[in-house]
Structure 1
Amino acid sequence: MTHPSSSSTPLPSEQIVTDDLDLLLDALPPHISGPLRDAERRTDLLEVVMDLGRLPEARYPGREIILSREEVTEADLQWVIARIGDFGDDNRAGIERTLHRISCIRNRRGKVIGLTCRVGRAVYGTIRVIEDLVLSGKNILLLGRPGVGKTTMLREVARVLADDANKRVIIVDTSNEIGGDGDVPHPAIGGSRRMQVATPSMQHAVMIEAVENHMPEVIVIDEIGTELEAQAARTIAERGVQLVGTAHGTSLENLMLNPTLADLIGGIQSVTLGDEEARRRGTQKSILERKAPPTFDIVVEIESWRRVSIHKNVAETVDAILRGYRAKPETRQLGPGGRIEIVDDADREGGEFGMGALGAGGARGGRPPTWEIGHRRNGGHIREYREPREPRAYEPAEPAGPEPEDEEEGTPFVTAAPRAASRITRLFPFGIPRGRLEQAARSVGANIELVDDPADADAVITLRNYYRNKPPALREAEDRNLPLYVVKSSGVYQLEQALLQLRGDRGSAGRGPRRDPMVDIFRETEEAIAKVLEEGRPVELPPANSYVRRVQHQLANRYNLESRSSGKEPMRRVKILPLGTGTPFER
């Protein structure tokens, strides 16, 4: 549907532009609008700037041109003001039945001394690259730099949902940018209904009013920018109404650093861990965590109408970034003929954000790791999955074991006998900085190739913190009987010693690889637990120190079994009891 006085220009991928440019030019003084009536100067025009006492300018992407050699006068400004709508509290006005926006600059006395006349265009077909997400019913947040087309895409979202998906759509139109100026909205919003906002400070109240009074299926809101608006957006989402909006910011990481809008992606809070929990996680005592479920399920970072980056699971992406892992979005672009192409952008850092930027909680041993591991909860269990181009998040497993008591401090140990040196060439580093590992390999002359998946590896190297927790990737490596080299820290010397063992050398003390003593303790405890569950009778474990006993109690508790300690040191031991036959565990 096209406004009668609009000019339409077909674009690739079946995009049609309606700009009603003649109506904007008619509102400008003749000596300013004249040069813009040429066809060449109409194309890609962004805005016309008129400042008192200066030459008028027309702005295009990457360039400006002077429209007249006569300076702008008060009469020129009044000419425009008389032909447009009234300015609101946000100093914005429009031209009725168009999408153009005129913003004014006032002096200290409130007098208008400058105008920015921005061209508003309805571009049909701009959301083709994300149309499947829009029709999925999920809440979507659009991000992008000013002028990239957020409002234009939002307008097209409203039209598609109202006309193509036949949904009840309400637009909360704060500055009449989505539906245009005047009481009758622009045809570009299709069958959507539009609620105008009397003053920008009341946008949040109109958002709630729209839900309470008009029973919408979809709410469309532009420029969520205050804490009250973020809270209103959460309220709308919790009521089961699909929410599509835009916010200030160019990326999801920017939004996380914005305290006002962070609630849109779940909010971030600082948590202080106890000494034991901090050691188990391998983090500082003060860490950052997501506070609540995100308001928006999907975040779309707009690079242009034809290219976007998509975070399809905002909760997982935020968790991954806070833990210091990569959260690479899915990048899409429109190819020839309107075909949607998935771009594997290897140069993009994705979300390799790290706690250094957010302020707390990064993993020990250098910069955050950059592997991608996903998890999905299924029936209460964590099951590893691998899907292309999805953001990944890593969550450690629960049990924690004590640190092995090495015969020599700082010597790495291995949990399986190494294969022949000629066969071990591909190494999967779990939690080890790759740059540091490559440096150690060059130092000792180890011929290795770093891989991103344990399924492709001949051996695995990891930190003791991760090995104790047994995350899915390390359990997979053990299931494959891969040699697992465990180091206490990611220092170059530690890595060199591990690589020497991998190569088959002996190290300075002449000793071979040693086995982690906690491996047998874990296995012994789990076998005892299995016996209690199967036979329903208590099982007593061998004597152990207090740290080992605490781990044994934790393992029993994971299986909803009771346990208690008895005897005196050094013969104190743990007895695992069937459910309901004992008292809470005693160390």
Structure 2
Amino acid sequence: MLANDYKKRVMIVDTSNEIGGDGDIPHPGIGNARRMQVPDSDMQHKVLIEAVENHMPQVIVIDEIGTKLEAMAASTIAQRGIQLVATAHGLTIENLIMNPSLDMLVGGIQSVTLGDEEANRRGVQKTVLERKGPSTFSCGVEIISKTELRVHHSLEATVDAILSGRSPYAEVCKMISPGVKKEVESEPAFQTSSEKKDEVSVDDFHLTDERNSHNELTSESLLDMGDNSLEHEAPLCLYVYGILETSVIQGINQLKMDAAVQLTDNISDADALLALQSKLKKNAKIQAAAKSHDIPIYVTKTSSLEQITKAIRALMNSHANGLKGSRTEENTKLSEKIDALEEARIAVMQVVIPKGEPVELLPRSSQIMSLQIDFIQKYQLETERIGTEPEARLRILPISD
């Protein structure tokens, strides 16, 4: 494509003829591109420089960059304004950053000491890692599987995000079937526990096995109520630490909360912090910054989509009912809501509907009773409020004949 469609001078440097073709016969897929075979794999860096000096290519395609000398040669070529297309081994971009032989491809890393004011503003330690210089490549692609790719359109922005502890932007491309491609692009968004009570773990929202089916019902009810109350409110600003931003965005989209949640890279602007537990515990600065700004911390033990969606659902339920931080007396724990809705569900399903008898629920706060009323109305049942605070409670009325 580069050689034929865009009429560029393309040079392929291949150690084992995997790209250009076997022997003296070039592969038809390379079009008008030229090949330079490498007689000795240890001399690939010299062949790269030779290709630039003798052939003046506009594009160089490299089979694999695996040594520091080859990385230095690629960086030199990029500085001369020549477009590079190359591969390098590593599971993720982060592996490439931490590889001392290949980190030059992404700009290299260096340790920088920040001033007290800047460290407090960022919410990080005084000594941090930063990108040393410009990246050799402008964009990068992670091959997740044969049918899935993760594209980083700005490799420098990705490296900066990873080094600062944030999750990078990426576009995930999936092949559903041969010839059919689906793109899931992350939306442009701005983007560890000092005391256990400051953390809200996803496991805290698990009920016992025998109540799992009921938990789904009550959680969905809470979720629907949260969505309705957020329709005319500003979105929740979420600061993510130690979890891939694409995974968080996928979880948000799965819950259909993309309009209700906005990622931020400034912890002082955040309404909540979502972090991976193992990484959060290693960063006391993030914990301190969250406490100083009175930001509730939600942690997940793993970065699986299931754990992330449960954490997002939990923090959104709290936010929807004005629970910003669980620090004030008016805040109600999510477990109390689940218990109250479970009480209402059992009363409806076991007494009111089958027996046609009214049931009085336990005394609850006005906020909890509002949730119960919304839940009971889903069964087309009426309620009445009896008693006064703090003994106010609901009576569920059966359907009149």
TM-score normalised by structure 1 residue count: 0.36
| Identity level (%) | 51
Cα offset, 1:213, TM superposition: 1.3
| Cα separation, 1, equivalents of 2:20 and 2:58 | 18
Q: Which amino acid aligns with 1:428?
A: L
Cα offset, 1:342, TM superposition: 1.0
Cα offset, 1:392, TM superposition: 6.0
Counterpart residue number, 2:152: 311
1:334–1:492 distance in 2 versus 1, CA, 3 Å: closer
| Cα separation, 1, equivalents of 2:294 and 2:125 | 16
SS of the residue 2:4 aligns to? helix
Query: Do structure 1's residue 488 and structure 2's residue 292 form an aligned pair?
Result: yes
Counterpart residue number, 1:216: 57
Residue from 119, 122, 136 that aligns with 1:295:
136
Aligned residues: 242
Q: Which structure carries more helix by proportion?
A: 2
Deviations 1:544-577 (A, max 9, x none): xxxxxxxxxxxxxxxxxxxxxxxxxxxxxxxxxx
SS of the residue 1:247 aligns to? coil
Residue from 181, 191, 197 that aligns with 2:38:
197
| Cα separation, 2, equivalents of 1:466 and 1:304 | 34
| Cα separation, 2, equivalents of 1:502 and 1:194 | 73
Cα offset, 1:287, TM superposition: 0.6
| Cα separation, 1, equivalents of 2:190 and 2:155 | 10
| Cα separation, 1, equivalents of 2:296 and 2:190 | 27
Q: Which amino acid aligns with 2:91?
A: T
TM-score normalised by structure 2 residue count: 0.51
List aligned pairs for 1:57-136, cutoff 5 A.
none
List aligned pairs for 1:422-441, cutoff 5 A.
428-431=236-239
Deviations 1:435-489 (A, max 9, x none): 9xxxxxxxxxxxxxx9977x747xx9x99x844xxx6x89xxxxxxxxxxx9515
1:272–1:210 distance in 2 versus 1, CA, 3 Å: same
SS of the residue 2:124 aligns to? coil
1:261–1:432 distance in 2 versus 1, CA, 3 Å: closer
Counterpart residue number, 1:229: 70
Counterpart residue number, 2:315: none
Counterpart residue number, 1:283: 124
Cα offset, 1:179, TM superposition: 2.2
Cα offset, 1:393, TM superposition: 6.6
Deviations 1:496-551 (A, max 9, x none): 8854559589xxxxxxxxxxxxxxxxxxxxxxxxxxxxxxxxxxxxxxxxxxxxxx
Deviations 1:250-299 (A, max 9, x none): 22121112111111111111112233332232211111111111111111
1:499–1:171 distance in 2 versus 1, CA, 3 Å: same
| Cα separation, 2, equivalents of 1:434 and 1:205 | 40
Q: Which amino acid aligns with 2:102?
A: L
SS of the residue 2:87 aligns to? strand
Cα offset, 1:432, TM superposition: 7.9
Q: Which amino acid aligns with 2:112?
A: V
Question: Once superposed, what is the RMSD of the aligned Cα atoms?
Answer: 4.1
Counterpart residue number, 1:389: 186
Cα offset, 1:338, TM superposition: 1.5
Counterpart residue number, 2:180: 339
1:336–1:431 distance in 2 versus 1, CA, 3 Å: closer
Question: Does the CA-based 8 Å contact 2:20-2:26 persist in structure 1?
Answer: yes
Question: Does the CA-based 8 Å contact 2:116-2:126 persist in structure 1?
Answer: yes
Question: Does the CA-based 8 Å contact 2:294-2:325 persist in structure 1?
Answer: no
Question: Does the CA-based 8 Å contact 2:174-2:181 persist in structure 1?
Answer: yes
Counterpart residue number, 1:79: none
SS of the residue 2:11 aligns to? strand
Structure 2 unaligned runs (5+)?
192-227, 244-254, 272-289, 298-317, 333-401
Cα offset, 1:215, TM superposition: 1.6
Question: Does the CA-based 8 Å contact 2:113-2:128 persist in structure 1?
Answer: yes
Query: Do structure 1's residue 257 and structure 2's residue 98 form an aligned pair?
Result: yes
SS of the residue 1:170 aligns to? strand
Q: Greater relative contact order (Cα 8 A, min sep 6): structure 1 or 2? A: 2
Query: Do structure 1's residue 180 and structure 2's residue 21 form an aligned pair?
Result: yes
Q: Which amino acid aligns with 1:389?
A: S
SS of the residue 1:163 aligns to? coil
Deviations 1:334-382 (A, max 9, x none): 3446232114xxxxxxxxxxxxxxxxxxxxxxxxxxxxxxxxxxxxxxx
Question: Does the CA-based 8 Å contact 2:296-2:325 persist in structure 1?
Answer: no
Counterpart residue number, 1:167: 8
